[in-house]
Amino acid sequence: MPGYHPARSRRAAERKGDVRERAILDTCAALLARMGYEAMTVGDIAQGAGITRGALYFYFGSKQEVVTALVARTVEQLWERSRVTAQADEPRQAIAAAMRRTVDLWNEHGLVMRTAIDLSLTVPEIGELWNRTADLFITAIAAVLERAGVQAGTEPEQASAMARALCWMIERTFYHVSQESRENLQQASSTCEHIWLVSAGLTV
Amino acid sequence: MPGYHPARSRRAAERKGDVRERAILDTCAALLARMGYEAMTVGDIAQGAGITRGALYFYFGSKQEVVTALVARTVEQLWERSRVTAQADEPRQAIAAAMRRTVDLWNEHGLVMRTAIDLSLTVPEIGELWNRTADLFITAIAAVLERAGVQAGTEPEQASAMARALCWMIERTFYHVSQESRENLQQASSTCEHIWLVSAGLTV
DNA sequence: GCAAAAATCGACGCCGTGTAGAATTGGAGG
DNA sequence: CCTCCAATTCTACACGGCGTCGATTTTTGC
C-alpha cells in the first residue's frame, strides 16, 4: 500500500513498543504467579521486561494500569470464547458443557482471574471488567435454569436471583480450589454441577 | 536491658494501654469503613486514636497487625455466638434459623468480614482466622444436610463437599450484597436459603 | 516517694512510587 | 548520506508511607 497514511498513533502496525507492551504484560503475569501483587514492584516488572522503570512509565501510568491491562487482555479472550461457544439446548448437557468449560477456563487463566477478583475492590477499572464478565455468566446460567422450567424473574426463587447465587458459588469455589491441585478442581466442579442441577429441578 | 522492645506484652488487669489498644482498633474499624484498607495509613489510625505513629508501634508491629487484631476480635465474637446457639433439629427450621443469623451477622460485622476476606490472601494470619471461621460454617451446614438425608462424605454429591460449595455461595453472595442495601441482603438471603433447601432435598 | 515498667514522642533511614527533562534511536523524505 | 521528528529510553529527583531507635515522660507496684 503505497498510499497508506498512518495518520497517527502507534496503532499503525507493530511498532517496537507493541512488542515491549506485550513483554511487560507477560512479565507481569509471571511475577504475579511467583510473588503476588503486593510484593511485585514496578522495578521488578521493568527489569523482567528488559527496560528501566522510567521506560515502563512510558507505556503504563502506574502499576495498577499494568495489571488492569493484563486483566483486560485475559478477559477479552474469555468474551471471545463465550461468544463462539454454541448453546446446547438440553439443560443437562448445557450444564455439563458449561462446567467443563469453566474448568478449562480456570486451569488456563486461574491466576489472572484470581488477581482480578482480589483487586476488584481496590481498582474500580478491574471491578468493572470483572462485573461485566460475571454478568455474562449469570445471564447464561439464568437462561439454562429457565429452559429447565424455573420461572423467570428476579424474586428469590426465580431464575435471575438463583443464577446470581450459583455464579458466586462457582466463582468462589474455583477461586479457592484453583490454588490447589487439578484433581480437586475436577471434584469441586462436579459438586457445583450437582447443586446447579438440583437447583434447576433436574434431580436424577 | 535497654534494647528491650516488647511489641505487645502486658497481662496485668486493665492498664492504660488496654484502653488505648481498644481505641486503636475502634479507630481502625471506623477508618476502614470511611476509606478502605489501602488508603488508610498508620498515621491516620494513630491520629484518630489520639497518639503518634511512634506510640502506635508500641502496641502493634505493623498496619497489618492492627487489622489482624481487629479481625481476630470480631471473629471471636462470632465463635462465641455460634457456640451458644442451639441447634434446631428440624432441618427446615435449622436452615431458616441459620440464614436469619447470617443476615444479622453481616448487618453487624459486614465491614470487618469483607476486609477479612479481602486480606485473606495477603495476610496469612487473617487467612487462617477466616478459614477456621469458614470451617465452622461448613461443618454446621454439612450436619444439617446429613440430618436431611444427604449421604455423609466428601465425594462430590455428598454432604461435606456440598456444604463447602454452599458456604462459598453464601459468603460471596453476602459479601457483594452487604455493600448495598439491607433489603437486597434480605432478598439474597432468601435465595440462598432456597438453594440450600433444594440441595438438601427439601423441595417444597 | 521512688525505682522499674509502661507508654509516648520526634527524628531518622529505607524503599517504592510517579514525574521531569535530557539523551538516544529509527525510519521517512530530501 | 544527512536531517528531522517522533518514538523510545534513561537518569535523577521529589514525595510519602513504613518501621526503627534512643530519649523522655508517665504510671505502676511496693
Blockwise average pLDDT, block size 10, chain B, 204 residues: 33 70 98 97 98 97 98 95 80 95 96 98 97 97 96 96 98 96 95 98 84
Taking the CB of residue B138, how many other CB atoms lie within 10 A of it? 20
* Contact flag, residue A61 CB and nucleic strand C, below 7 A: yes
Tell whether B199 is within 8 A of chain A (Cβ). Answer: yes
> In the structure, how far is the CA atom of residue A13 from the C1' atom of nucleotide C25, in angstroms?
18
Supply the pTM of this predicted model. 0.91
Q: What is the pLDDT of residue B204?
A: 63
Q: Which nucleotides of D are covered by protein (CB under 7 A)?
A: 7-12, 16-23, 27-29
Q: Which residues have CB under 8 Å from A161's CB, separation 6+?
A: A153, A154, A155, B187, B188, B191
Q: What is the pLDDT of residue B77?
A: 93
How far does B169 lie from chain A, in Å, by closest CA?
4
Can you tell me the distance from the alpha carbon of B82 to that of B74, in angstroms, rounded to the nearest whole number? 13
Q: What is the pLDDT of residue B17?
A: 73
Interface contact flag, A195 B199, Cβ < 8 Å: yes
Can you tell me the distance from the alpha carbon of A162 to that of A167, in angstroms, rounded to the nearest whole number? 8
Can you tell me the distance from the alpha carbon of A111 to that of A131, in angstroms, rounded to the nearest whole number? 17
Task: Return phi, psi of residue A114, to 5°.
Answer: -60, -45
Q: Which residues of chain A have pLDDT under 70?
A: 1-14, 17, 86, 204
B20: cell is: 488505648
Q: What type of residue sits at position B155?
A: E
Cβ burial B104-124 (10 Å sphere, 16+ → b, else e): ebbeebbbbbbbbbbbbbebe
Can you tell me the distance from the alpha carbon of B8 to that of B59, in angstroms, rounded to the nearest whole number? 5
Per-residue pLDDT tens digits for A12-59? 446 776 899 999 999 999 999 999 999 999 999 999 999 999 999 999
How far does B44 lie from chain A, in Å, by closest CA?
19
CB A117 within 8 A of CB A176: no
| Residue that the C-alpha cell 494501654 belongs to | B17
Q: Which of A40, A123, A191 is best to mutate for the B interface (most B CBs within 10 A)?
A: A191
Q: Which of B64, B172, B179, B184 is best to mutate for the A interface (most A CBs within 10 A)?
A: B172
Interface contact flag, B36 A194, Cβ < 8 Å: no
Q: If you ran DSSP here, which 8-state letter would residue A60 be given?
A: -
Q: What is the pLDDT of residue A204?
A: 63
Length of chain B: 204
